[in-house]
C-alpha cells in the first residue's frame, strides 16, 4: 500500500512522473486535486470529476469536523461513501483553516483552541484529535497538524516550527489506521535555514510522503520557487511531494519543474463562481461585455463539456444573471484546464520535452491583473 | 407541422394521451415542462433534462427580452442553439411577468408600458411586439399576450378580458413564422360566464392549441378544478390544452383527469433551491434534523441520479451548507418526480386505469403545510 513508483525523471529539471498507489486507486503524478471543502467540489458531481480526469480530490478536516461532523461521516461509512466519490481523497489537517478562518484562537504546545467561524462555539485541535478526526473521515492521504505562520516573520516562524515539529511527531505516533498515508508538512516560511531544518526533522520519520506548506500565502513567486529549489534535493526522491494550496497555472508548471508531484487548490472552482475562465493565455473575465455576442467557445482547443456545447455569449449571459449553470460550466472548464495542463506536463516528462513545453506555456501566460477577478 | 394525434381517451374521465409534433421533436402528452426562465432550467444542464425525460421546456419572454435580449439570441441562432437544448421549447408571452414582476405598469388598449424589475428602465409590450420578440427567440410554441388579473374581481376580470381578447386577435394576425405554434390563452378568473365567453371567443380562431391562464394565482383548488371542468367540453378535443404555471403533484393529477395535456411550473426547481424534495406522499424538508443520519435515498422507489447515488444524510448536509450540489440533486429529483408521475398517468390512460391510479395517488398525497417550505 502507498507504493510510489517513479516512472520517469526529467534530465534537465527536477520534474518527474510517477504512480502513487492508494486504497481507492492509482494516482498518476504529477496530479492536480480540486478541492471539495465540504465533501463536494463546488458545483460538480462525482461523475463530472471522473469525466474531467480528476484522480484525487481534497476535503477539509476543519470544515467537516464542524459540519456535518466527522463522527456522522464515519457512521455513514466514511467520506468516500458519504459523498459518492470512489477515487482517492486527501484531507488536510485543519490547521490552515484554524489560522485563516476561526475568529479566536489560543495556541499552546499541545494544540490550538479556537472558536468556530460558523457559530463562535469553542473547539480544540490537538495532534491526536486531528488524527482521530481524519481517521473518522477515512481519506486515503491525511496530513499532520501544523501551524501556517506569516511567511516573513523570522522569529515567529522559528518559534512556530518547534511547535509544528512536535505536533508532527505526535501525529506520527498516534495514527492507527494502516489504510491511510500520513504526510509530514515542511514549514519554515521564506527562510532557507528554517526550511532546511524542517525538511531534516521531518524526513527523520518514515512518512510515506511530504508536503510543503506555508507557501502561496503572501510571499512573492520568486520566493516560492526559491523555496522549492531549496527543498528539492532535501526531500526523498522516492516519496511523493505535495505543494499545498497552489493552483495558478504558472505555479503548477514551475512546481512540476522543481519536482512537485501533487497540487491542490480552490482556485479553479472559486474563479468559476466569480465568472473567470482559466485559459492558456491567463484568465478571461466572462462578465466582460466583449463576450456578449461571441459565439465561439471559451477556448477553441478545449474539449470540456462547456466548450463542446456552449458559446462565450451564453456563458456570459449565465454569469451576468448569476445562474447556477454558469458556475457549473466554468467550474468544469477550469478544473479541466488544470487537469489537462498537468496531464500534458506528465506526457512531456516521458517524452523529455517538459522544459520546452514549460517555456512555451509560460511565454504565452499572462499574469492575471491583481484586481481582474477577485479570488 | 403541429399535428396533435390523440392516441387514447379515458372513458371515465377527461384524461387523454397524445402526440404533439413540433419542429424539434414529438411531445408525448400529457407532459410536464420544467421552466428555464433565463434560458437555463436552474441548476440543470440540457443533458440532464434529456436524461430526466423532459420533452418540453419553457422559457420566459419577459426575462429574455430584458437580458440578454431577444435580438442577441436571434443573432446567436435562436434559443435552441443559444442554450444548447435541441428539444421543443415553449415561450410565454411575458404578460404574466409584466404584471407580477415589474414595478410600474400602465395598461392601455394597445398594450402595456412597464418598468424593468432589473434597472427600472421603461419598456412597452404590444401584441405585435410580443410576437416579434418570440419570433426572435424562436421557440416551437409561443403564446399570445394576455393580462393575468386578480381572479376574483368580477368587474376587473370582465374589463380585462376585452383587452386580452383584442390582444389575442392582434397576436394571431401579426404572426409570421410558420414553424411556430401560437396558442391562445383563455382567461376569465373564477367566473364561469367569463371563462365560457373567453373560450368561445378564442376558439373562433384557428389556434393550434389553447392555454388556460390565470389559475394557481390565489384561487382555491376547488375553484381551479371547477374552472377546468367547465372548460373541458368548451375547448376543441383535437387540439392540445395547456394549463399554465401549475406544477403541484395533486394539480397535475386533477388537471390530467380534466383533459389537460401540457403543464409547466417553476415549482420543482424552486422547491429544490429551498431544500424541499417532492415525494409521492407530499414534500420532505431536507433541512430537518431527522434526515441528518438517514442513510436511505430521498425516495426508495426513485431511479433518479440523486436517489441512485446519495443519501438523505448527504443531501441534508449539502442543503444546510447551501452547497450548489444540493440544488442540483434536488432539482434533478423533483423534475424527475413530476416527469415520472405524468408518464405513469400517461401509461394509465392507455391501460384504462387512470382513475384508479389517480385515486390511489391522491389518497396518499398530503397537502404540504402552507409554511413548510416557502416557494
ipTM of the complex: 0.96
CB B43 within 8 A of CB B269: yes
What confidence tier does A52 reach under pLDDT thresholds 50, 70, 90? very high
Give the span between the Cα atoms of A246 and A264, in whole angstroms.
6
**Grid-cell match 518559534, residue found:** A159
Q: For the whole model, what pTM was predicted?
A: 0.96
Closest chain B CA to residue A312: B82
In sequence order, what are the residues at sequence separation of 6 or more whose Cβ sits closer than 8 angstroms to the Cβ of residue A356?
A: A348
CB A244 within 8 A of CB A227: no
**Same domain flag for B247 and B278:** no
Write down the pLDDT at residue A367: 74
**Same domain flag for B226 and B273:** no
CB A375 within 8 A of CB A283: no
In the DSSP assignment, the letter for residue B35 is B
> Across the interface, do B323 and A75 touch by the CB < 8 Å criterion?
no
Question: Who among B67, B321, B324 is closest to A320 (CB)?
Answer: B67
Query: SS3 of B212, please?
Result: strand
- Write the CA distances from A97 to A62, A220, A269, integer angstroms: 6, 22, 18
Residue B87: closest CA among B44, B43, B50: B50
> Residue B92 catalytic?
yes
Strand order in the sheet with A105-108: A105-108, A111-115, A122-125
In sequence order, what are the residues at sequence separation of 6 or more whose Cβ sits closer than 8 angstroms to the Cβ of residue B251?
A: B216, B221, B224, B243, B263
Interface of B with A in 287-306 (CB under 8 A): 292-293, 295, 305
CB B167 within 8 A of CB B206: no
Phi and psi at residue A265, to the nearest 5°: -170, 145
Smallest Cα distance from B274 to chain A, Å:
14
Residue B44: closest CA among B85, B72, B97: B85
- Whether A146 is in a domain gets the answer yes
**Same domain flag for B183 and B287:** no
Domain limit, last residue, from A264, A287, A313 = A264
Q: B67 at the A interface (CB within 8 A)?
A: yes
Stretch A324-342: mean pLDDT, rounded? 98
**Same domain flag for B128 and B230:** yes
CATH of the domain at B118: 3.20.20.105
Residue B84 has pLDDT above 80, yes or no: yes
Write down the pLDDT at residue A370: 53
- Whether B213 is in a domain gets the answer yes
Query: SS3 of A156, please?
Result: helix
B258 HSE (CA, 13 A, CB side): 22
- Whether A143 is in a domain gets the answer yes
**Same domain flag for B188 and B80:** yes
Residue B177 has pLDDT above 50, yes or no: yes
> Across the interface, do A314 and B45 touch by the CB < 8 Å criterion?
no
Sign of CA dihedral B164, B100, A328, B329: negative
CB B199 within 8 A of CB B186: yes
For residue A217, what are the domain limits? 30-264
Question: Who among B40, B292, B318 is closest to A318 (CB)?
Answer: B40
**Same domain flag for B271 and B285:** yes
**Same domain flag for B244 and B271:** no
Smallest Cα distance from A324 to chain B, Å:
5
Write B303-307 long-range contacts (CB < 8 A, 24+): B303/B336, B304/B52, B304/B332, B304/B333, B304/B336, B304/B337, B305/A45, B305/A47, B305/B51, B305/B329, B305/B332, B306/B330, B306/B332, B306/B333, B307/B333
> Across the interface, do A38 and B323 touch by the CB < 8 Å criterion?
yes
Supply the mean pLDDT for chain B.
96
**Grid-cell match 397576436, residue found:** B171
What confidence tier does B104 reach under pLDDT thresholds 50, 70, 90? confident
Please give the tally of structural domains in chain A. Answer: 2
Question: Who among B40, B72, B77 is closest to A325 (CB)?
Answer: B40
Residue A374 has pLDDT above 70, yes or no: no
**Same domain flag for B244 and B291:** no
Write down the pLDDT at residue A124: 96
- Whether A159 is in a domain gets the answer yes
Q: B50 at the A interface (CB within 8 A)?
A: no
**Same domain flag for B217 and B321:** no
Residue B370 has pLDDT above 80, yes or no: no
In sequence order, what are the residues at sequence separation of 6 or more whose Cβ sits closer than 8 angstroms to the Cβ of residue B91?
A: B58, B59, B60, B61, B64, B79, B134, B137, B139, B141, B142, B143
What confidence tier does A372 reach under pLDDT thresholds 50, 70, 90? low
- Whether B62 is in a domain gets the answer yes
Give A-chain residues touching B116 at CB under 8 angstroms.
none
Domain limit, last residue, from A232, A264, A296 = A264
CB B294 within 8 A of CB B314: no
> Across the interface, do A328 and B84 touch by the CB < 8 Å criterion?
no
Q: A46 at the B interface (CB within 8 A)?
A: yes
**Same domain flag for A355 and A251:** no
- My answer on whether omega of the bond before A186 falls inside 30° of 0, hence cis, is no
What confidence tier does A375 reach under pLDDT thresholds 50, 70, 90? very low
What confidence tier does B374 reach under pLDDT thresholds 50, 70, 90? very low
Smallest Cα distance from A73 to chain B, Å:
9
Domain limit, last residue, from A207, A240, A264 = A264
- Whether A3 is in a domain gets the answer no
**Same domain flag for A250 and A275:** no
In sequence order, what are the residues at sequence separation of 6 or more whose Cβ sits closer than 8 angstroms to the Cβ of residue A137?
A: A59, A61, A64, A70, A73, A74, A78, A79, A91
- Whether A98 is in a domain gets the answer yes
Please provide the size of chain A in residues. Answer: 375
Write down the pLDDT at residue A101: 86
**Same domain flag for B261 and B271:** no
- Whether A108 is in a domain gets the answer yes
Amino acid at each position: 500500500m502507498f507504493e510510489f513508483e517513479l516512472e520517469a525523471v526529467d534530465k534537465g529539471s527536477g520534474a518527474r512522473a510517477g504512480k502513487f498507489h492508494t486504497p481507492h486507486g492509482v494516482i498518476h503524478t504529477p496530479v492536480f486535486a480540486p478541492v471539495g471543502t465540504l465533501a463536494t467540489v463546488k458545483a460538480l458531481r462525482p461523475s463530472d470529476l471522473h469525466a474531467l480526469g480528476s484522480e484525487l480530490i481534497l476535503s477539509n478536516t476543519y470544515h467537516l469536523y464542524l459540519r456535518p461532523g466527522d463522527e456522522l461521516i464515519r457512521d455513514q461509512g466514511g467520506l468516500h461513501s458519504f459523498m459518492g466519490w470512489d477515487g482517492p481523497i486527501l484531507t488536510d489537517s485543519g490547521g490552515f483553516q484554524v489560522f485563516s478562518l476561526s475568529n479566536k484562537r489560543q495556541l499552546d504546545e499541545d494544540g490550538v483552541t479556537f472558536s468556530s467561524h460558523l457559530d463562535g462555539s469553542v473547539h480544540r485541535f490537538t495532534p491526536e484529535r486531528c488524527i482521530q478526526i481524519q481517521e473518522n473521515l477515512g481519506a486515503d492521504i491525511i496530513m499532520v497538524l501544523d501551524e501556517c505562520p506569516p511567511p516573513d516573520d523570522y522569529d515567529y516562524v522559528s518559534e512556530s516550527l518547534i511547535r509544528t515539529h512536535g505536533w508532527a511527531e505526535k501525529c506520527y505516533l498516534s495514527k492507527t489506521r494502516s489504510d491511510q498515508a500520513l504526510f509530514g508538512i515542511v514549514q519554515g516560511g521564506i527562510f532557507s535555514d528554517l526550511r532546511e531544518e524542517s525538511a531534516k526533522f521531518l524526513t527523520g520519520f518514515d512518512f510515506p510522503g511530504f508536503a510543503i506548506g506555508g507557501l502561496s500565502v503572501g510571499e512573492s513567486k520568486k520566493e516560492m520557487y526559491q523555496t522549492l529549489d531549496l527543498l528539492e534535493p532535501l526531500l526523498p526522491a522516492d516519496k511523493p511531494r505535495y505543494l499545498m494550496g497552489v493552483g495558478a497555472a504558472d505555479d503548477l508548471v514551475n512546481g512540476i519543474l522543481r519536482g512537485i508531484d501533487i497540487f491542490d487548490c480552490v482556485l479553479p472552482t472559486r474563479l468559476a463562481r466569480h465568472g473567470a475562465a482559466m485559459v492558456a493565455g491567463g484568465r478571461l473575465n466572462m462578465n466582460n461585455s466583449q463576450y456578449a455576442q461571441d459565439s465561439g467557445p471559451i477556448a477553441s482547443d478545449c474539449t470540456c463539456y462547456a466548450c463542446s456545447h456552449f458559446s462565450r455569449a451564453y456563458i456570459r449571459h449565465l454569469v451576468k444573471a448569476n445562474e447556477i449553470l454558469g458556475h457549473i460550466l466554468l467550474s468544469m472548464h477550469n478544473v479541466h484546464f488544470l487537469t489537462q495542463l498537468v496531464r500534458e506536463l506528465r506526457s512531456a516528462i516521458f517524452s523529455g520535452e517538459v522544459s520546452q513545453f514549460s517555456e512555451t506555456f509560460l511565454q504565452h501566460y499572462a499574469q492575471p491583473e491583481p484586481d481582474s477577478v477577485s479570488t
